[in-house]
Structure 1
Amino acid sequence: MKLEKLVGDRFKERPADCQVDSHALMIRGGYMKNVANGIYSSYMPLRRITRKIEQIIREEMDAIDGQEVQFPVVMPASLWQESGRYDSIGKELLRFTDRNGAPMVLGMTHEEAAVQLVREYGQSYAKYPFMIYQIQTKFRDEARPRAGLIRVREFTMKDAYSFHTSQEDLEQYYDKCHKAYERIYARAGIPEVVSVKSDSGMMGGNVSHEFMLLTPIGEDSIVICNECDYRANMEAAENIVENETEAMQELTKVHTPEMHTIEQVCEFLHVDAKKSMKAVVYQKNSDDKYILIFVRGDLEINETKLTNYLGCDVHPAVITEESGIQAGFIGPVNQNADCIVLFDRSLKGTTNLVCGANEVDYHYTGLNMEREFPDVEYVDLAKVVEGGICPCCGKKSLTISRGIEVGNIFQLGTKYTKTMNMTYVDKDGISKNPIMGCYGIGVGRMAASICEAHHDDYGPIWPMSIAPWQVHICAMNLDKEGVREVADTLYENLQNAGVEVIYDDRSVSAGNKFSDADLLGVPVRVVVSPRNLKESVVEVSTRDKSLMEKVPVENAEQYVKDLVEKMKKECNLVK
């Protein structure tokens, strides 16, 4: 490929609306162009990258007996009504009506389509297990697209669906797919991706994992134990706290004038926030029923845990006079408001707490949970904090990092096969619902994440396995003796040897050529210049600056081919 023919402009200035480096570099480097909010067109370099990612994914899915299929982007609403998700999912699902008046949806995920495809096929236990997968365009109407390809509305995704006749068989396959994902990330050049326990969300199921690339620009909070292998998304991380036991005090009402917040009350009474109880109020989306949650004063409520416990969506409460809730002074003692009352597990065993008295300008001191509320049920609803107790090893060793989700896997169970009436007859003649697993990877997000993990101030540093080209030839001063001849010969011979080459033989300055080379991020660069040819050498370097060698012209072709093969092996591309 001649660089002068490459469609797409490259430029030095960072676009003002690019929040993260990968977004800025991919716009500057001529990889993509914005079409609408969260929707992009791809130029050739990005298409070459994503095709290579897709090929790695295909090889690893095929290796675990996956069969590639393709589901439609547009589906009848009736499929989603069968599963119950048509009404349960919010505005992220794009709904529309076709010219015949039939309700339709744009696929944001394809569990329903997968079940519809195989429910007639899978009527006998003898057909199981099996896995089908696709690499397909999807549309999720995100409220706040951000960071270029990291969170978009239209995207390409690999989604796979496995079907089983036992939970044990699903778990065995789930483990195989987990290992396949680890190989995918290693081969694509991001072996540092970690697997974390996650919340299943709208997908359903009881067991799920996310694969996270740890980076400060990530939008997910990841809880990691430095002493053992425990890792979990903040939404799924179990919160464990220690509470000091003290000699019990009397429950006493105290005057706290104009003290509406935990911070104000604790400062006024000279009490640590850990020795206080605060109230957080939500309402159900369905009927606006109030939900009153009591939690230790230094902790925050995890809304995902709350919605999972309740089985419904919630929103922060609008407290009215008719509610019977005294905002700013809410407490559990003599609480008579018509609401659901929940106690976070952080309050278990606590003594001598400060809490609201349900009366303006008054709080209680000396609250003892076991004395005042001996029969209460505790629920884990709080967010984990830095330095918290690990639920696996029991040490105070939890840290919180940021990460980008680059894949997820779920044990779905029978959520979809039951609602969509997919059954098989087992060997004893009994009709049963097959058990499903689901496995997803966003291709564009993965490309952007790799760029985020591997770049410098000048451009991406693409791993050899997914780079748009393997070698970038920069020919300087082509009008000088020997330069064009050497560069053209090297270009032709490398291409004939199966090496992917981008060749810059434009009549522009060296600065422009090197700037464009940095933005394209090709792993191996070969510079042919009059100064080097005076020594009968070419300059071979790597984009990550780990190597720079002057190689005799007659040895250059073989040296570059060997270097490419070596870098392929480092990405586990050659087996």
Structure 2
Amino acid sequence: MKQSKTFIPTMRETPTDTEIASHQLLLRAGYIRQHASGIYHLLPLAKKVIRKIEAVIQEEMEKLEAVELAMPIMQSSSLLEQTGRWSTSEKELFKVQDHNGRQFAVGPSQEELITSLISAEVNSYKKLPLTVFQIASKFIDEQRPRHGLLRSREDIVKDAYSFHTSNESLQMKYDEMRQAYANIFARLNLQVREVVSLGDGMNQEPVHQFFSISDAGEEIIAYSDSSSYAATIETAEVNIDYKKSTELQKEIEQVDTKDLRTIKEVAAFLNVPSSKIIKTLIVKTEDGLVAVLIRGDHELNMEKLRSVVSSSKIEMASEEEVATILSCNVGSIGPVKLPIDLKVYADNAVASIVNGICGANINDVHLVNVNAERDYAVDQYADLRIIQEGDPSPDGKGTIRFAKGIDVGRVSKLGTIYSEALNASYVNEEGKEQPFVTGSYRIYISRIFSALVEQFNDANGIKWPKKLAPYDIHLLTINMNDEVQKQLSEELYHLLTSYRYNLLHDDRDERAGVKFSDADLIGLPIRLVVGKRASEGMIEVKFRDTGETVEWQKEEITEKLQSYFRE
């Protein structure tokens, strides 16, 4: 491709409203342009890279005998109403209405759509298991679009769905998909960690999620520095045998703590570590209010608490709700003499506190030398806190470290959630109708595209791996008005295209500095420069990944290129 004939609008300056490398470089190198907040044009270079990513995914899906199809972008509201997502996902949905007043959602995800289709066409166990997938744009009304394609309103997504007669069959496909995803990311040279995380939407079961480790990520990953263990901080278990102090219990005392509002302030005033303080929180569940005790240097994990109290919805109680059971402000709550009917849950670490400090349930007063069983009761101890960096790894190997990650894929067991809601069933061997057992498997292609740029770049631009670059070779002619340079460039262009190399030929009438700068920004693996030594048949060669520059004779170009691309 002649660079003068294609569309690569590079930029000299970094846009002021960009924060991360991939967003900046994809704009500057002419891969994307913003249309509106969170909505982007994918320009020719971007399309070439994304097609290569899609090809890898398609190959791995076909190895699993998954079949590709295309589903409508618009979904009837009636399907989403049956599962409840029309109202529960209202903030995320783009909704439209046709001239007859019928309502539709613009492609958020396809669980309802594919389940309805398979239910209408597959009626016997003999046709199962079945796995289908598509690659298409997904639309979510992201409240705060940011970081370019990493948090946008339109994503290119591969979503696959499998249909089974049993959980055992689903588990087999689930494990195959996890391995396929590992293969995909390895082939893409993208460094990822597989973690256990929480389900979303209607699916609250744990899922396996894949994160590209990057400072541009918004999710915190807890991982072991000595094993493969990794999880989101919401799901990471805390596995610590807390040692209880052997100090003797002391008499309880009241202390005036007026104007002290935080754990840090109370700890400093009493000259004790935060770990001696018992933080009491009032939480609202589906069955009413409960009290939760957490050590002062720890944070409550709401998802762990939700599981322990068996409530699908939990949230911190408001000041008004607290006032209905206690006559003090939120900062003065403590576990001593709570209402008898208020159930008390405590994190495991609280059980080890001896002569602790807590609110007195009196404004601006704290209690010192508080002890469990003697001064307050706990209905249940459990792992209720967020894991911290430096904690021992839950698998017993190494220490927990934190890293940021970009969500690039996930595999989920949906079970019969959608099939039961949509009355989607098949006839089993006994002639009885049974709901499909289903799985969902998603890869975020446009995020992978950005995550690769986050991983492969330097101060001058992008550094694409050989197999993903939009072109194999960047051929630069320094002076297109020089007949010798022009002739040698044309010879190289025709020779290398005959060898099946995909070339981008910078034949523009631009200064050499502009061409070099644009080449570094675009980031093709190898650059061939035809310049002053063209009359000698000498070509300057630059390797983008290392920055190394050498010279090759025209006659040895094909042999050396074959060796380079075989590596």
The TM-score, its normalising length taken from structure 1, stands at 0.92
Aligned in 2, Cα 1:74/1:216: closer, same or farther, shift over 3 Å? same
The whole-number CA distance in structure 1 between the counterparts of 2:523 and 2:476 is: 13
Matched residue of 1:120: which SS? helix
Matched residue of 1:65: which SS? coil
Aligned in 2, Cα 1:68/1:374: closer, same or farther, shift over 3 Å? same
Tell me the CA shift for residue 371 of structure 1: 4.1
Decide which moves more: 368-377 or 253-262: 368-377
The whole-number CA distance in structure 2 between the counterparts of 1:128 and 1:559 is: 51
Q: Residue 198 of structure 2 contacts residue 204 of structure 2 at CA under 8 Å; is this kept in 1?
A: no
Matched residue of 2:120: which SS? coil
User: Counterpart in 1 of 2:437?
Assistant: 435
- State the Cα deviation string for residues 235-289 of structure 1 (Å, max 9, x = none): 21112344331333344333323322211211122221111111345557x99x6
User: Counterpart in 2 of 1:368?
Assistant: 371
Q: Residue 257 of structure 1 contacts residue 362 of structure 1 at CA under 8 Å; is this kept in 2?
A: yes
The whole-number CA distance in structure 1 between the counterparts of 2:349 and 2:393 is: 14
Q: Structure 1 counterpart of 2:139, which letter?
A: F
User: Counterpart in 2 of 1:448?
Assistant: 450
Q: Structure 1 counterpart of 2:349, which letter?
A: S
Aligned in 2, Cα 1:303/1:96: closer, same or farther, shift over 3 Å? farther
User: Counterpart in 2 of 1:525?
Assistant: 527
- State the Cα deviation string for residues 273-328 of structure 1 (Å, max 9, x = none): 111111345557x99x6564321110112344445653126367344784344221
- State the Cα deviation string for residues 17-65 of structure 1 (Å, max 9, x = none): 0010100011111111111111111110011111111111111111111
User: Counterpart in 2 of 1:202?
Assistant: 201
Q: Residue 106 of structure 2 contacts residue 139 of structure 2 at CA under 8 Å; is this kept in 1?
A: yes
- State the Cα deviation string for residues 494-545 of structure 1 (Å, max 9, x = none): 22322111000112111100111111111111111123x3543212222112
The whole-number CA distance in structure 1 between the counterparts of 2:521 and 2:24 is: 11
Aligned in 2, Cα 1:317/1:523: closer, same or farther, shift over 3 Å? farther
User: Counterpart in 2 of 1:71?
Assistant: 71
- Structure 2 residue runs without a partner (length 5+): none
User: Counterpart in 2 of 1:336?
Assistant: 339
The whole-number CA distance in structure 2 between the counterparts of 1:498 and 1:316 is: 66
User: Counterpart in 1 of 2:27?
Assistant: 27
Matched residue of 1:410: which SS? strand
The whole-number CA distance in structure 2 between the counterparts of 1:136 and 1:341 is: 48
User: What pairs with 1:336-485 in structure 2 (closer than 5 Å)?
Assistant: 336=339, 342-374=345-377, 376-393=379-396, 397-485=399-487
User: Counterpart in 1 of 2:189?
Assistant: 189
- Structure 1 residue runs without a partner (length 5+): 568-575
The whole-number CA distance in structure 1 between the counterparts of 2:89 and 2:407 is: 21
Is 1:498–2:468 an aligned residue pair?
no
Matched-pair identity in %:
33
Aligned in 2, Cα 1:307/1:542: closer, same or farther, shift over 3 Å? farther
Q: Residue 307 of structure 1 contacts residue 314 of structure 1 at CA under 8 Å; is this kept in 2?
A: no
The whole-number CA distance in structure 2 between the counterparts of 1:488 and 1:18 is: 39
The whole-number CA distance in structure 2 between the counterparts of 1:414 and 1:495 is: 53
The whole-number CA distance in structure 1 between the counterparts of 2:373 and 2:434 is: 46
User: Counterpart in 2 of 1:516?
Assistant: 518
Q: Residue 94 of structure 1 contacts residue 141 of structure 1 at CA under 8 Å; is this kept in 2?
A: yes
The whole-number CA distance in structure 1 between the counterparts of 2:100 and 2:300 is: 47
User: Counterpart in 2 of 1:268?
Assistant: 269
Matched residue of 1:133: which SS? strand
User: Counterpart in 2 of 1:131?
Assistant: 131
User: Counterpart in 1 of 2:242?
Assistant: 243
User: Counterpart in 1 of 2:221?
Assistant: 222
Is 1:553–2:533 an aligned residue pair?
no
- State the Cα deviation string for residues 189-237 of structure 1 (Å, max 9, x = none): 21x2111111112151523111111112211100001222211011211
User: Counterpart in 1 of 2:233?
Assistant: 234
Q: Residue 83 of structure 1 contacts residue 420 of structure 1 at CA under 8 Å; is this kept in 2?
A: yes
The whole-number CA distance in structure 1 between the counterparts of 2:290 and 2:65 is: 47
Decide which moves more: 502-511 or 320-329: 320-329
Q: Residue 302 of structure 1 contacts residue 383 of structure 1 at CA under 8 Å; is this kept in 2?
A: yes
Aligned in 2, Cα 1:338/1:512: closer, same or farther, shift over 3 Å? farther
Tell me the CA shift for residue 152 of structure 1: 0.5
Q: Structure 2 counterpart of 1:239, which letter?
A: V
Tell me the CA shift for residue 414 of structure 1: 1.4
User: Counterpart in 2 of 1:105?
Assistant: 105
User: Counterpart in 2 of 1:295?
Assistant: 294
User: Counterpart in 2 of 1:178?
Assistant: 178
Decide which moves more: 319-328 or 337-346: 337-346
User: Counterpart in 1 of 2:149?
Assistant: 149
Tell me the CA shift for residue 472 of structure 1: 0.5
Q: Structure 1 counterpart of 2:369, which letter?
A: G
Q: Residue 244 of structure 2 contacts residue 351 of structure 2 at CA under 8 Å; is this kept in 1?
A: no
Q: Structure 2 counterpart of 1:368, which letter?
A: N
Matched residue of 2:331: which SS? coil
The whole-number CA distance in structure 1 between the counterparts of 2:280 and 2:241 is: 20
Q: Residue 494 of structure 1 contacts residue 561 of structure 1 at CA under 8 Å; is this kept in 2?
A: no
- State the Cα deviation string for residues 156-214 of structure 1 (Å, max 9, x = none): 10001111222222222111111111111121221x21111111121515231111111
Q: Residue 53 of structure 1 contacts residue 443 of structure 1 at CA under 8 Å; is this kept in 2?
A: yes
User: Counterpart in 2 of 1:573?
Assistant: none
Tell me the CA shift for residue 391 of structure 1: 1.7
The whole-number CA distance in structure 2 between the counterparts of 1:217 and 1:81 is: 36
Aligned in 2, Cα 1:415/1:372: closer, same or farther, shift over 3 Å? farther
The whole-number CA distance in structure 2 between the counterparts of 1:272 and 1:560 is: 64
Matched residue of 1:202: which SS? coil
- State the Cα deviation string for residues 334-366 of structure 1 (Å, max 9, x = none): 223997754334324433221111001211222
The whole-number CA distance in structure 1 between the counterparts of 2:305 and 2:14 is: 41
Q: Residue 388 of structure 1 contacts residue 396 of structure 1 at CA under 8 Å; is this kept in 2?
A: no
User: Counterpart in 1 of 2:255?
Assistant: 254
The whole-number CA distance in structure 1 between the counterparts of 2:61 and 2:398 is: 39
Q: Residue 282 of structure 2 contacts residue 322 of structure 2 at CA under 8 Å; is this kept in 1?
A: no
The whole-number CA distance in structure 1 between the counterparts of 2:317 and 2:45 is: 45
Tell me the CA shift for residue 438 of structure 1: 0.9
Q: Structure 2 counterpart of 1:143, which letter?
A: Q
Q: Residue 156 of structure 2 contacts residue 445 of structure 2 at CA under 8 Å; is this kept in 1?
A: yes
The whole-number CA distance in structure 2 between the counterparts of 1:371 and 1:338 is: 19
Q: Residue 425 of structure 2 contacts residue 436 of structure 2 at CA under 8 Å; is this kept in 1?
A: yes
Q: Residue 189 of structure 1 contacts residue 465 of structure 1 at CA under 8 Å; is this kept in 2?
A: no
The whole-number CA distance in structure 2 between the counterparts of 1:269 and 1:193 is: 45
The whole-number CA distance in structure 2 between the counterparts of 1:407 and 1:321 is: 41
Q: Structure 2 counterpart of 1:451, which letter?
A: V
Q: Residue 245 of structure 1 contacts residue 351 of structure 1 at CA under 8 Å; is this kept in 2?
A: yes
The whole-number CA distance in structure 2 between the counterparts of 1:102 and 1:493 is: 58
Decide which moves more: 467-476 or 552-561: 552-561
Q: Residue 481 of structure 1 contacts residue 530 of structure 1 at CA under 8 Å; is this kept in 2?
A: no
The whole-number CA distance in structure 2 between the counterparts of 1:226 and 1:534 is: 57
The whole-number CA distance in structure 1 between the counterparts of 2:425 and 2:223 is: 40
Aligned in 2, Cα 1:182/1:448: closer, same or farther, shift over 3 Å? same
Aligned in 2, Cα 1:350/1:214: closer, same or farther, shift over 3 Å? same
Q: Structure 1 counterpart of 2:39, which letter?
A: I
The whole-number CA distance in structure 2 between the counterparts of 1:528 and 1:489 is: 11
Q: Residue 412 of structure 2 contacts residue 441 of structure 2 at CA under 8 Å; is this kept in 1?
A: yes
Matched residue of 1:477: which SS? coil
User: Counterpart in 2 of 1:570?
Assistant: none
